[in-house]
Every structure is written in C-alpha cells, then in structure tokens.
C-alpha cells in the first residue's frame, strides 16, 4: 500500500488532445503554485506514475502535489497560515481621510458627510502606529487610503503621508501605500505626486462599463455622468507612464451591466496604453447595511474567462492566477486595523460609514479566529480545494449569511488552460 497520496489541493486538468499529443494532464498545486504536465497518463495512474520516478516524486512532494498519506492537509494549511500571521513583519493600516464622496453610486452602502480627519485624529493615528513600530517586530508599514473618496482630502493624505514616512524612517521601516479612488480627481499630475512623492504603489479606479452604463450606476451626487471625466483622467495618468501594475481599472459587475463589459474593454483597448493600466472584474455584493442582489460568482466566472481573453487580445494586462494566500483579509489580520475620519478603529472596510455605524448601533466583528471556524467545519471552506489561494474569501459575508466564493472557484480550469496556451506552464 502506498504511503503517499495526491494532495487534496492539487487540481487535475484534462487537456484537449491534438494530432501531435494525446492524453495530456495538467497538475496544479494550490498550496505552492507548482505545475507539471503529464502525457498519456490516466487519472488513476497519476500517483503510481509519479512514484515510479524518484526525482519526479521528490519534486512533487517538495511542491505539495503529492503528500504523505497520513497528512491532515486542512490542518497543515491552516497551521501554515497561523505561522505566517505570527511571523508577519508588516503593519497594515487603512485610513479614511474623509467621509466625503462626490459620487452617489447605486450600490454604495455608505453614508457620506463632509467630515475629515482633523489634527487630533491624525495625532491619534500616528501615535498608534508609532507605538506598534516601537515593538521592533515590523520591517514594513503599509497604508491603504480608502473612502468614501480619499482624494476629497488630498491635503490630509499629503500631510499624514509625510508624517508616516518620517515615523517609518525613525524605526528603519519601509513605507508604502495603495489607494482606492473613483478617479474624478485623479489627474496625471495628482497620480504622479501619489506615485513618486507619496509612495502609492497601487491605484484602483472604477469604471462599470461604457458611458451610458457607467453613468447610470456611478453618477455624481448631483446626478451627472462621470465616465468621460474619469476616462480623460486615465488618459492623463497613462501619459506619465506609471510602472506596470500600479494603476488598475476595477469593473464592478452584476446582471445589469455584464453585457456591456466587452464594450468597455474595446474602449480601453483603443487607448493604446500598453501595460500602463490593467483591469480586473469584481462581483457586486452586499456592502455594509445595503444589500443589492448578490452577483452569482459561478455565472460571472463564465463571463470572466471571455473578458480576460478579450482584454489580453487587446493588449490590456489582467491579473495572474491566484497565488497562495496566508492571511485572508484585514479582518483576520491581527496586524491590521482601519481608522475612519473620526479616528474610530474598525476591523473591516465594510463597517465604517454604514447605516448601523451612523445610527450608533455599530458592530465590530472579530474574525481573528476565522481559521478555527474553518477547522471546526463551521463554513464550507474546509472541504474546498481552493482554500490555500482563497483563505475563506470574506468572513463577514459568511457571518451575514452570504456565499462569497470567488470566481476562480468556478473557472480555475479555464484559467489554467489560458495560462497554458500563453506558455506559462
């Protein structure tokens, strides 16, 4: 009897036969990202075939495609996650510099106001970060500028960034940031400042379709369309040639705009931006206390494969295959917190500015033991082969009774085939 087994987190993808090659099988480990292409081996013969080749067996075991028959892989993966959390040397803080936003998006669950971070709140945030960096266990400080709309308070972002950089330098810590913005104030000049002076390494800008679709979903507080202004700003941003991977267009998708995504991609492809601006797709889901109909990820997964193919055909970069995720999200991360414009601390980006928050009935979820819930089989993630690259997706969505499984759970085989065709296997 063999002392080995194929990993439960190894995907086996049968590939279409060609006149030159038959019986091709792709092995992909979600624990390590390792891949191996076999030819002429049936599924039941994969393990005996690997075991019959000592060098291949050593490689397969080192890369978790094959594991010891006695290994409890669920516990092993969750233990790896726990160790990664304990050993993390990154302090992460999300900061909302203002509660103000110029948009009135149809699916937004936030309640906006003119509130901005004041000097006292800024001092409190800096004090917390200073205290944490003083423990000398961190080598990195990463800040996420979040909204409402952070560029509604660009002076506040500038001021806090300078102080955060000074604090990081005192503790010999590397500082970097990212920002989610609606793009209305993201001119090329502003983007250049953010990237080159304020150490923002990623900028996410949202377009939900071509003008007639985007403007029906993401309009100004006064009801005016915003597509042309945002596209114009992206043209200006692309002209400064930001490093690849820094500027990304996010397209929030549900059943009302899915048919227009191809048109949006064609518009973006016409700009000739090369690798300056990439794109990704995200399903609309319940946010805060607002509950639109959740987009079915399995339905969206089929569409996403088509969109990714078209985007690449048009020369627009798209995200790589999902990689190993040791920390699910900031809500499970003991090294992460969010500060709203009033200085209140939260565990999750979906909590501040929600209805229950503004009414004084806020609930601050604590999901730092989410791995234990998975191991106790309280959420179905314990039996999913995608766990190493998903981590459970969103513990808050599970707690709220939703199913937050990502699209790659349903289109992983097609994604792997696309990467194979691109020569990435």
Taking only the tens place, the pLDDT of each residue in 18-37 is: 767 777 899 999 999 999 99
When pLDDT is cut at 50, 70 and 90, the band that residue 402 belongs to is confident
Q: Please say whether the beta carbons of 229 and 186 come within 8 A.
A: no
Predicted confidence at residue 316, as pLDDT, reads 96
What pLDDT sits at residue 224? 97
pLDDT interval class at 292 (50, 70, 90): low
Assign 359 a pLDDT band (cuts: 50, 70, 90): very low
CA dist., res. 280 & res. 317, Å (int): 9
Give 157-202 pLDDT, tens digit per residue. 999 999 999 999 999 999 999 999 999 999 999 999 999 999 999 9
Q: Copy the structure tokens of residue 265.
A: 């991609």
308 contacts 278 by C-beta, under 8 angstroms: no
Q: With bands split at pLDDT 50, 70 and 90, how would you rate the model's confidence at 113? A: very high
pLDDT at 357: 53
Per-residue pLDDT of 251-275, as tens digits, reads: 999 999 999 999 999 999 999 999 9
Residue with tokens 């267009």: 249
391 — alpha (psi -120 to 50), left (phi > 0) or beta?
A: left
Give me the pLDDT at residue 360, please: 47
Query: Percent of the chain scored above 70 by pLDDT?
Result: 94
* Average pLDDT value for residue range 294-306: 87
Burial 320-352 (b: 16+ CB within 10 A, else e): ebbebbbbbbbbbbebbbbbbbeebebbbbbbb
Beta-carbon contacts of 149 under 8 Å, excluding residues fewer than 6 positions away, are 98, 100, 101, 102, 103, 181, 182, 184, 185
What's the confidence (pLDDT) of residue 35?
A: 94
Q: What pLDDT band is residue 146 in, cutting at 50, 70 and 90?
A: very high
Instruction: Express each pLDDT in 56-78 by its tens digit.
Output: 999 999 999 999 999 999 999 99
pTM: 0.92
Helices 227-239 & 188-196, crossing angle to 10 degrees?
A: 50
Question: Which helix (DSSP H) or strand (DSSP E) does residue 239 occupy?
Answer: helix 227-239
pLDDT value, residue 366: 76
Q: What's the pLDDT at 358?
A: 47
Q: Give the per-residue pLDDT at 121.
A: 96
Give CA–CA dist 118/219, Å, rounded.
Answer: 28
CA 121 distance to own-chain centroid: 28
Burial class (CB in 10 A: 0-12, 13-18, 19+), 221: exposed
Q: Mean pLDDT across the chain, nearest whole number?
A: 92
């Amino acid at each position: 009897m063999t002392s080995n087994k194929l990993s439960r987190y190894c995907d086996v993808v049968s590939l279409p036969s060609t006149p030159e090659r038959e019986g091709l099988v792709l092995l992909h480990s979600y624990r390590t990202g390792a891949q191996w292409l076999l030819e002429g081996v049936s599924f039941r013969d994969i393990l005996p075939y690997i075991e019959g080749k000592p060098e291949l067996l050593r490689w397969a075991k080192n890369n978790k495609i094959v594991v010891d028959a006695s290994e409890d892989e669920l516990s092993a993966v969750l233990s790896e996650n726990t160790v990664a959390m304990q050993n993390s040397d990154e302090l992460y803080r999300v900061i909302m510099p203002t509660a103000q936003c110029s948009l009135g998006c149809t699916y937004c669950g936030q309640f906006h106001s003119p509130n901005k971070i004041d000097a006292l709140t800024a001092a409190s945030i800096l004090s917390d970060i200073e205290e944490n960096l003083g423990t000398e266990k961190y080598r990195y400080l990463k800040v996420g500028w979040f909204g409402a709309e952070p560029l509604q308070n660009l002076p506040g972002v500038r001021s806090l960034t300078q102080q955060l950089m000074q604090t990081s330098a005192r503790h010999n810590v590397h500082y970097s940031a990212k920002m989610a913005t609606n793009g209305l104030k993201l001119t090329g000049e502003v983007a250049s400042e953010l990237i080159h002076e304020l150490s923002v390494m990623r900028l996410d800008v949202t377009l939900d379709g071509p003008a007639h679709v985007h403007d029906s979903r993401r309009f100004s507080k006064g009801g005016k369309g915003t597509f042309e202004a945002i596209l114009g700003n992206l043209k200006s941003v692309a002209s400064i040639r930001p490093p690849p991977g820094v500027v990304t267009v996010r397209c929030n998708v549900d059943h009302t705009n899915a048919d227009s995504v191809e048109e949006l991609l064609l518009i973006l492809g016409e700009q000739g931006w090369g690798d300056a601006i990439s794109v990704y797709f995200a399903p609309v889901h319940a946010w805060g206390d607002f509950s639109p109909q959740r987009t079915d990820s399995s339905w969206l997964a089929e569409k996403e494969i088509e969109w990714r193919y078209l985007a690449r055909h048009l020369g627009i970069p798209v995200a790589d295959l999902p990689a190993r995720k040791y920390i699910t999200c900031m809500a499970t991360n003991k090294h992460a917190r969010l500060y709203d414009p009033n200085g209140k601390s939260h565990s999750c980006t979906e909590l501040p500015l929600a209805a229950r928050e503004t009414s004084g009935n806020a609930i601050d979820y604590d999901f730092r033991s989410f791995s234990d819930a998975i191991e106790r089989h309280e959420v179905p993630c314990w039996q999913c082969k995608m766990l190493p690259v998903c981590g459970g997706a969103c513990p808050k969505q599970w707690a709220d009774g939703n199913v937050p499984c990502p699209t790659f759970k349903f289109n992983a085989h097609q994604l792997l085939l696309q990467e194979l065709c691109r020569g990435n296997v």
